Structure formats: structure tokens, C-alpha cells
Amino acid sequence: MRVVSLVPAATEIVWALGAIDQLVAVTHDDDYPPTVRVLPSVTRSTIPHGASAREIDRQVREAGARGESTFHLDEQALRDARPDVILGQTLCAVCAVTLDQIPAQLPRVPQVVALDASSMEGMFEDVRRIGAALGRDADADRLIHDLGSRLAAVEAQVAGLSRPRVACLEWLDPLFNAGHWVPEQVQIAGGEDVLGTAGARSREIGLDDVLAAQPEIVIAMPCGWDAIRAATEAARLRGSVGDARVLGVDGAAFFSRPGPRLVDGVELLASIFHPDAVSAPEGAIAVPVGS
């Protein structure tokens, strides 16, 4: 079976299901597991490498006003991949190619699996969809059980502990709160999300909104950036969010992609909120602003 992934979250799910050898092409954004970096890419972005948060926001808005996206499908590369299965998403035209960009005519008619998670349970449903498409239903069931057990363990570890007030920021210039599954991650990890609503989309906010929410902890988790860059970009918030601690985390790895590593994100948050009760997962860090 030849599988093409049009969204990094799907790639991570395929890997977690033990089917990475069936992937024949991925996106230019795919970086996990590291072995997928050698696969052909079927997408590209018009946003230049190293662009600032403000510049990225400007380009995204301008493309949207034209009815376009900054993410583009390489139709010839997709044809060359000869997919039996295409995994894609319908949630966000900003952060990935959407399924409506797939050309109508391909050398063979692939099975198209639409992923549309907007919650933790939605992520589990996507795991089930991919498992079914790849003939790995039992692997999907095992993965969901294991991930659910890890979430339950965190809930047990933080039960009865005081919940810090937490502001999660998906973008920093302009400011956007973090939506969809992130408020759930915060809640499971033993915090109180003071800006987001579970299942709701992120929205542009002002610094006054952050101040009015009176957070004790501000988590910068910009989509697509690692923890060090997140902390660097969040430095402008220092001194403007009251006494709140400000930390940068890897948004791409643990918060932006609705795949299995959302559970790692929960464990990372819990280690921030309750360091005496929960340890961060291996490879996950939180970088304090100003450190």
C-alpha cells in the first residue's frame, strides 16, 4: 500500500501505528519521526524561511483575502507518488494543504481519508480512521488505549492539587489564544485555561485580554516553532503580563498537530504546573523567557 500524507499529524499517526514503511511522500513541514525527512515532498510554502511572526501573519492574511493559501500542493509530485491512500485535513487552510486541493485526475483513484480533529477525542477518531484505511484496526485500538492510559495517569497525579491560571498563546504578533484541543490539554494537566474554550478556534486577542485574564503562567506555543524560538519571540511579553511566568514550548511537536504527541504535550504542561508531581516526557522542554 502506498500512502501519501498531506499533514504532519497524519504522518505521526502512521508512524505510531507501525506503518511508516508504507509512506511514500509527505509534506515539506514533516519532521517527525526524523526518518520521513528523506521522503519526497508533495507540498511547498510561499512563506520564506526565517520570516518574522508579523510577516507570516501578513502573508497569510493577504493570501486569504485573495482566496488563496500560503501552502500549495505539487500536483506532479503527487501523481509521481501513485498513492493508494491520501491522508489529509479539512480543519485549517493556513497550516496545511486541504483536501480540496487534490486534483480530480490521478493515475489511480486513491482512497482519501479526511481528518478533522478539533479535540482530543477527535484525534483518537482520526487514529481510528487511519487505522481502518491501512488495515491496522487492532494497532489503532492499542495506540488509543495506551494514550488514554497516559492521560488518566496524569489526571491521577494532579488530582486535588491547586490549578494555576494559564494563558496559552498560539501566535505572538499579533497575539492569538490557543484553541481546539489545547484547553483540554491544560485541564487534564491540572491547570485552568483563562483564554480558550475547548473545541473553539483560536482567535486574535490583545494584550489587554491577557492582562484581564490574570494568568499566573503564560505559555507561548506558536504554530511551527520550537521551544527556543518561542521563548525568544515571547521575550517582548516580559514585563507586560504582570507577574506571570512566561515560557516557550515546542508548538509544532506537542500542541499544533492533532496526533499522538498531544499526550506528550499534556505531560509537559503538567510538569510545568505541578513539577513535584509530574515529570516532562523525554525530549520535551519548556524554556523560561529571560533564561
Number of domains in the chain: 2
The three grid cell numbers given for residue 29, joined into one nine-digit string: 513541514
In 66-190, which ranges are continuous DSSP H helix?
75-81, 120-133, 137-158, 182-188
148 part of a folded domain = no
Say yes or no: 9 and 111 in one domain. Answer: yes
HSE at residue 148, side-chain half, CA atoms within 13 A, is 12
19 and 134 in one domain? yes
Answer yes or no: do 79 and 193 share one domain.
Answer: no
Q: Output the CA torsion sign for 134, 137, 139, 141.
A: positive
What domain range is 252 assigned to?
A: 162-288
Average pLDDT over residues 228-242: 91
* pLDDT mean across residues, the chain: 92
How many CA within 13 A on the CB side of residue 120?
Answer: 21
CB 247 within 8 A of CB 289: yes
Q: Is the pLDDT of residue 92 over 90?
A: no
Gyration radius of the chain's alpha carbons: 19
pLDDT for the residue 164: 98
Same domain, 9 and 138: yes
> What average pLDDT score do residues 14-34 get?
96
The set of cell numbers assigned to 123 is 484525534
pLDDT of residue 132: 98
Same domain? For 112 and 183 the reply is: no
pLDDT tens digits along 40-89: 999 987 777 777 888 877 877 777 777 666 778 889 999 999 999 999 98
| Count of H-run helices and E-run strands, the chain | 10, 12
- Position 154 in a domain: no
Asked if residue 182 and residue 120 are part of one domain, the reply reads: no
In which residue are the cell numbers 497524519 written?
10
pTM over 0.85: yes
End-of-domain residue from the set 91, 115, 143: 143
Of 143, 170, 186, the domain-final residue: 143
Q: Are residues 132 and 217 in the same domain?
A: no
